């Protein structure tokens, strides 16, 4: 199963109180996490830490940068 997260930097800001530690979810069949976001999105390290803290290996996390003029915030899960 592949999980894709599309981020739009213009709509969301990082909350300084976010703590990515601890288990929030479990997905044994997750094979890859794709993060699609604008270049230099400061949320990417927080998202990576969140997935790693929840048992996803860093090697399974890919970040794809897209032009900032394409606003999106959505999720896609593919089996």
What pLDDT was estimated at residue 70? 52
Each of the 79 residues of the chain gets a pLDDT tens digit; together they read 888 888 875 545 555 555 656 556 777 788 899 999 888 888 889 889 888 888 889 999 999 987 655 555 555 566 5
Specify the pLDDT at position 72. 53
| Torsion angle in degrees (nearest 10) through CA of 40, 49, 11, 66 | 40
DSSP secondary structure, 18-63, as one string: ----S-----TT--EEEEEEETT-TTHHHHHHHHHHTT--GGGEEE
Domain spans of the chain? 2-78
Report the alpha-carbon distance of residue 70 to residue 51 in Å, rounded: 25
Which pLDDT score is estimated for 21? 62
Q: Give the position of tokens 């976001």.
A: 37
């Amino acid at each position: 199963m592949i999980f894709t997260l599309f981020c739009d930097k213009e709509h969301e800001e990082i909350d300084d109180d976010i703590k990515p530690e601890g288990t929030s979810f479990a997905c044994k069949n997750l094979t890859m996490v794709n993060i699609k976001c604008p270049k230099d999105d400061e949320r990417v390290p927080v998202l990576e830490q969140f997935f790693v803290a929840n048992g996803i290996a860093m090697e399974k996390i890919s970040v794809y940068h897209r032009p900032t003029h394409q606003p999106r915030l959505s999720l896609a899960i593919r089996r």
